[in-house]
A = this chain, B = another copy of it.
Amino acid sequence: MFEKILIANRGEIALRIIRACREMDIRTVAVYSKADEYSLPARFADEAICIGAAPSQDSYLHVPSIISAAEICDVGAIHPGYGFLAENAHFAEICESCNIRFIGPAPSVIRLFGDKSEARQIMKEEGIPVLPGSEGNVETHDEAIKIARKLGYPVMVKAAQGGGGKGLRVAHNDISLANAFMAAKSEAEAAFGNSDIYIEKQLEHPRHIEFQILADGHGNILHLNERDCSIQRRHQKLIEESPSPALEGKLRARMGKTAVRVAEIAGYESAGTVEFLLDKKGDYYFIEMNTRVQVEHPVTEVVTQIDIVKEQIRIAWGKKLEFEQKDIRMHGHAIECRINAEDPSRDFSSCPGKITDYFPPGGPGIRVDSHVYSGYEIPVHYDSMIAKVITVGRLRETAIMRMQRALDEYIIGGVKTTLPFHRKVLADPRFRKGRYTTSFVDEYLRK
């Protein structure tokens, strides 16, 4: 097994990876920016090295510094976490060329799924259901209008290199399409240095269902069932659960098979997530595959009792998966709430600052993944997520009641957080019945 792994990330996911490594007897190197000097990952890792100034481009996105740190510390592998360089094929290539194992799929696979338009096209040709849309990218505004009219409005205008809701626009008619097309194009150019755009039919009130995949280097691919991530605000997931209240056994099995097939087509190796949209009729459509560990991976971990981060590391070392599809069971129901340092009453504007009081919830069925503590200063430079609370229970109802209890116990002083927002959603009758779609939050906030 690897003797030492460098974690090219920060915050809760860096801590998560350090914890996995400790449990595997692997030494860890944390890299940190000047703003993260007093962060838990920098304290909990066996070694910690400052790689640059606070802005991400000078530290967590600065490839030479990270590779240099890896070389100095003589690590066997780099775990990229999520965000930052996690889906950067170029970075993965550099790692390989420096004889450092990149913990993730091959660079070519990252590149393939990085181009959403291309991936969609390939999957479509292989018989995977995708949303009706353009054949490949759309070059001109006129072409866009032609396609949109054929599909019927509303349509989604999407950046091929997009992600996290960036470079994504909805158009309801020719006029709004003109705006959407230009806006998406320039946003994509600015965000990803690539202005390729494609068009998909927009589903009305779909659910966002994703399947967790594990694939080793010996041809074994399996899925750990689904997560329902339909509770989103502006394409940012807020609450996730597993299993989905919308799936019954047969549909789950079919979607799982499709997800495994997607990974197989791509020659996937590592943990990954196949994302689908599911409509009211029970038809589902592949939208993309994420080639990294997801923020919401714990809900799958607590119901399957499989440690996804450890599996990533084992697979990267070349091990075979120690279980088969038939061994994968779901024990109970899990929910995750992402707690952000944001003010829900002010359009979720981020609230960096010092955490003056901190008391995490405890007791049965609760997992807290967080890098904060009493006295921690949330830096302004990075994203606003400060904790994930995951609850598990034998029934969905138990997990919900437990989450409400956890949210009530959780004390985070000094900064505004999304705790009150989560408390409200958890109490909503539609949420409690499991009858929600990706429109839930927007409709909810309009009330």
In the complex, A307→B365 CA distance in Å?
Answer: 9
9 CB contacts below 8 A, A to B, read A19-B405, A22-B401, A305-B331, A306-B394, A307-B393, A307-B394, A307-B398, A363-B369, A364-B369
Interface centre among A360, A404, A405 (most CB of B within 10 A): A405
Q: How large is the interface on A (under 10, 10 to 19, 20 to 34, 35 or more residues)?
A: 35 or more
Q: Which of chain B's residues have a CB closer than 8 A to the CB of A298?
A: 364
Q: Which of chain B's residues have a CB closer than 8 A to the CB of A373?
A: 359
Whether a CB of chain B sits under 8 angstroms from the CB of A16 is yes
* Cβ contacts A330-348/B at 8 Å (1 or 0 each): 0110000000000000000
Q: Which of chain B's residues have a CB closer than 8 A to the CB of A19?
A: 363-364, 405
Q: Which of chain B's residues have a CB closer than 8 A to the CB of A370?
A: 362
| B369 close to A367 (CB less than 8 A) | no
Which residues 287-318 of A sit at the B interface, judged by CB distance below 8 A? 298, 301-302, 305-307
In the complex, A365→B309 CA distance in Å?
Answer: 13
| A392 close to B305 (CB less than 8 A) | yes
| A22 close to B305 (CB less than 8 A) | no
Q: 19 new A-B pairs (CB below 8 Å) besides A23-B398, A23-B404, A25-B401?
A: A15-B363, A16-B364, A19-B363, A19-B405, A22-B405, A22-B408, A24-B401, A302-B364, A305-B332, A305-B394, A307-B365, A307-B393, A329-B331, A360-B360, A362-B367, A363-B367, A363-B369, A365-B367, A366-B367
In the complex, A22→B301 CA distance in Å?
Answer: 25
Whether a CB of chain B sits under 8 angstroms from the CB of A396 is no
Whether a CB of chain B sits under 8 angstroms from the CB of A71 is no
